[in-house]
Amino acid sequence: MKTRILQILGVAAIATMGMVSCDTDACKDVDCGLYGTCVDGDCECDAGYEGASCATASREKFIGSYNVSESCTSGNFTYAISITTSSTGAANVIITNFGGFTTPINVNGTVSGTSLTIPNQTVGGGTFSGSGQIAGNILTITYNATAGSSTDACTMTCTKQ
């Protein structure tokens, strides 16, 4: 009987040690930098950051100067834009000369991964909203511009310089 109790206690002790030794901190050696948090061994990046250690600003791939070829319901146009960082947040950008209008218009956008969102905003007497995707050096943006009762639907193909 004592032997049986000792065997049971021995098995329980081994099982307990096994459970304790399997309980490791998956985040112990993971560095997520200033803009991420380790969860189960992987970095979850703050909005506007990406990469294995959350050190890359998502908007960096969008920043630069572009030549634009645009097709709208009102016609076809060519012009240049630039995209710069915004001080309003790590995921935010400013698109300068948006739409190539006679009077330059700057719109705000938000970046997430390879996507760009242009939230509904009123600038220079018109209302603009749209979205886009970047692949390599090509940024494609589809947007609507409304002035009064007129709406123009446009697609911009932007080639990074």
Report the distance separating Cα 62 and Cα 59, nearest Å. Answer: 5
pLDDT at residue 18 greater than cutoff 80:
no
pLDDT at residue 12 greater than cutoff 90:
no
In Å, what is the CA distance from 100 to each residue of 18, 29, 90? 67, 50, 26
Q: Quote the percentage of the chain above a pLDDT of 90.
A: 81
Report the distance separating Cα 147 and Cα 127, nearest Å. Answer: 7
Strands 126-135, 138-147: pairing is antiparallel
Q: pLDDT tens-digit profile of 37-71?
A: 999 999 999 988 999 999 999 999 999 999 999 99
**Quick one: average pLDDT of 100-111?**
94
- Across the chain, mean pLDDT equals 89
pLDDT at residue 135 greater than cutoff 60:
yes
Instruction: Please tell me which residue, 3 or 146, carries the higher pLDDT value.
Output: 146
Q: Name the residue with tokens 């938000």.
A: 110
Q: What does pTM read for this prediction?
A: 0.79
